[in-house]
Structure 1
């Protein structure tokens, strides 16, 4: 049976290269991430940003002996709740320095007392003491969701001292550069966290430091002090279904994780695989998700999975964001209605009309006027985050030479509405014309039901904290990527809620799971943590 890894966090570092498929675009992205200039890598959920960061870490490790790569994930950021106004900045700084010291230790690099004193505001000169202090600060922040905490951050150094210490470490150990790879840069529904992240991102600029980060499209708040066009190299991770090597690229991704039975089935029914690959619209996680749900690889099952996933599951995941994060619920629900009741029916009517007129044209594209209400733009940004739509370009002229932004609806979302999706997939794809798109002007009646932006979005921390508390009380059954055996095993060990699971250390979990050895329990712990934190982070 094939085992598909849906998240990079579940893959052992030694298996990353074995599972990797590198396109020309991927090579260029990795090359850019190794440049001295800071980079931001933008991509929707499931497109492979974390995987490319990990490949970059391996590339530096293997081919740049005078450089060090430090990979840091901030996916637990939603649980921070203290009296510190700059809590996220301070937590990030402590977590970053802790990760740096761990990496230096693994490399056998010790730091002298001068560097140590710069990395500690309490004048500690012992590397182990500093590491322990940082570990304690990080732990206090990450446990602060249990009750609002006041944390003593006196031991944290000034950012200028951090840069000076890193310069000394590099010079004394013949290092050219230290790369920080930030994943899950900040919680997408906490704009203040994102602004503080980009403050740290910019503050760490130095001839000896390069910061790179993975971010989401449309839902990233840079703050007033950071300008993406001037302060970094801005990269986009997108895979266009119209690219020449698109199908072969995704086929190789699947084959790297498939058993021989599935490989043979795909080779025998290649057209079915092409339909699945096109349906995912460039998102590897979507493709692997649909393949995982196919018991026998035949047209009946493939068509049923396409209908189930792109008519229901993909929308349920988007709606679930509103159920998790109450402050954005109205906007998330409106965005779904706008697509399902406005955009997609209009696209289908257009395609049917062109077909009736014997015109070999079809579309999955729509256009929104540049002066459309901000609420509309915000709702569309959230739809790009979940990957239901993709922003193709802006400044596109439509009827009457008006300017706007062009979007692509996921191929599978349109195809799944057909009675027999596979039967029409090839002709539908071959007739796609990007120059043909549905238009929604600045005063479109489709916007009438949306309220003023201020009334729709509630970024109040109290609302967010209530959302997080609600998430933590949910049963572990909501974690879809856990197997039924895992869920039952955890329940048998007295772990029923997300909070129960999150509060268990690896040692505690291993001790509680009966008849399961430490190695298997540790693998399970890694898998559940990845799924748990993905669920919490949106």
Structure 2
């Protein structure tokens, strides 16, 4: 989304006005859904204001833009957003920010500046929103679309809930934008990314270590953030990874290659807190993933390097519970859909590729004791053959000893004793008798101990020993970061990283 935004912004001529909107912290307004019946009204007003805020930021980057007098002031936008998020605004403030107002404002800006259309690039919408928020968002998406306004939204497998009135294929076209980790184009793209990351530094990493960097790119499984995380580790500790001649230590590179898949596994594990009602799917999914990894390892055993597979096929139709688990792994970046392939009388198979970092770490490819980066690259660069282990939903569930009753929808827990409520309509806890409150995903995540955050154990201990910060919400409400920066060895850079980890957890 950001790449498209900057490309459009730098284009010559008034062809399109790009607006990049990020809803990363949208769960901050999710508690409104558990407090009143007007939540959709407040939420759609909040959505409109976020788009207007992003529109203003875009217009500030364009010289000579002519704004209408009715365009809201920056301070007013920020103040109203804070009030909505805190639940303290009144209807009069929010009511004026309707979808027709947004459309009229954008159309007037386009007319005044002789621009053809506006493209709304909406990031993290179907990732950061709760299920009810997502349904209201897609109603907003459908309503805001017009001849001059073209919205684009990032959606994710397994966790996206469209509204009943929103139909994929009719109201929007769905395209796959995951960077496929194969081929010369992929290597060129990732190596260019690495060169830009080290541009202006004292480390000439890429030119001296192209194969090693390419190997790390494959182990990031097409996720640039994972790849950049590996590069950042090298940059922050060159004495650990670089030899005296400037080359990378092969042993250290093999160890570093695991960090990409570990990041994706943490994303998968976080679903247990973000989707507590589907906790059983997340837990049982780990057994399914292990079974799929073992099937590829067994298939590759004894085969030549050019015959190795990184994919598996499951015959259609997939068991609904298995399909849900696989969609979660797709969201986490551990399983990639390749497509459906027919095998004649044997049926149609849905084919997926499994995270290369796991295949490398688990010896599922290059299964020999003395492994080298060159051997891995030989497999990773080999032409992909249409051969892969075939399996069935029933066989996977049999191997994992799972059946339908192992996959259940968990009801929200009692906020006092943690006992699961017996029915969705229950008003009192059967264990302690406390009145049951409506659950909020944001409040549940914000109330977690800071041990859940993706920061080092030493950092977590230092924060707890030297401050009153115990829960994720304590970090989120420390807007000035004063508490964090009062801790020894935590200054601005580390405080930003810790706050980022907290925001990432609740998003």
1:201 deviation in Å? Answer: 1.1
Once the two structures are TM-superposed, the CA of residue 78 in structure 1 deviates from its matched residue by 1.5
Q: CA deviation at 1:434?
A: 4.0
Find 1:339's aligned residue among 289, 296, 320: 289
1:382 matched residue in structure 2: 328
- Cα distance 1:434–1:384, how it changes in 2: closer, same or farther (>3 A)? farther
Matches within 5 A, 1:505-520: 505=479, 508-509=480-481, 513=485
Deviation at 1:496, TM superposition (A): 4.9
Distance verdict in 2 for CA 1:157–1:79, change over 3 Å: closer
Distance 1:207 1:169, change over 3 A: same
With 252-261 and 344-353 compared, the bigger mean Cα shift is at 252-261
Q: How does 1:58-97 map to 2 (within 5 A)?
A: 59-60=8-9, 63-65=12-14, 67-80=16-29, 81-82=31-32, 83=36, 84-86=38-40, 87-97=42-52
What's the CA shift for 1:365? Answer: 0.6
SS in 2 for 1:231: coil
2:417 aligned partner: none
In structure 2, the residue matched to 1:100 is: 55
Total equivalences in the alignment = 456
Find the aligned partners of 1:263 and 1:203 in 2 and give their Cα distance: 50
- Counterpart CA distance in 2 for 1:371 and 1:199 is 31
1:111 to 65, 68, 77: 68
Distance in 2, matches of 1:533 and 1:191, equals 19
Indicate how the Cα distance of structure 1 residues 102 and 284 shifts in structure 2: closer, same or farther if over 3 A, else same.
closer
Matched, 1:473 2:447: yes
Aligned match for 1:142, one of 85, 88, 95: 85
Which residue number corresponds to residue 237 of structure 2?
none
For 1:420 and 1:293, how far apart are their aligned partners in 2? 25
Residue pair 2:131, 2:160 contacting (<8 A) in 1 also: yes
2:188 aligned with 1:245? no
Pair 188,158 (structure 1): closer, same or farther in 2 beyond 3 Å: closer
Give the distance between the partners of 1:133 and 1:308, measured in 2 at CA: 43
Give the CA deviation at 1:382: 0.7
Question: Hey, what's the Cα distance between the residues in 1 that align with 2:128 and 2:495?
Answer: 25
1:51-450 counterparts in 2 under 5 A?
51-56=2-7, 59-60=8-9, 63-65=12-14, 67-80=16-29, 81-82=31-32, 83=36, 84-86=38-40, 87-101=42-56, 103=58, 109-112=66-69, 116=70, 127-128=72-73, 134-144=77-87, 152=91, 155-187=95-127, 190-258=130-198, 263-294=203-234, 295-296=240-241, 297-307=248-258, 310=261, 314-340=264-290, 342-355=291-304, 360-394=306-340, 396-398=341-343, 400-418=345-363, 419-422=369-372, 424-431=375-382, 433-446=384-397, 449-450=402-403
CA offsets, 1:100-156, max 9 Å, x none?
Answer: 3565577664424xxx4xx8xxxxxxx44xx66654442133235xxxx78536533
Change (3 A) 1:233 1:467: closer
How far apart in 1 are the matches of 2:95 and 2:129?
A: 30
Consecutive unaligned residues in structure 2, runs of 5 or more? 235-239, 242-247, 364-368, 413-423, 426-435
1:392, distance to aligned residue in structure 2 (A):
1.0
CA contact (8 A) 1:71 1:181 kept: yes
Asked if the contact 1:75/1:185 (under 8 Å) is kept, the reply is yes
Equivalents in 2 of 1:217, 1:262: separation in Å?
Answer: 41
Larger RCO (CA within 8 A; separation ≥ 6):
1
Task: Flag the 1:76–1:483 CA change in 2: closer, same or farther, 3 A.
Answer: same
Pair 365,498 (structure 1): closer, same or farther in 2 beyond 3 Å: same
Contact 2:316 2:350 in 1 (8 A): yes
Query: Over residues 81-105 of structure 1, what are the superposed CA-to-partner deviations in whole Å (9 max), with x where a residue is unaligned?
Result: 1122414333212322344356557
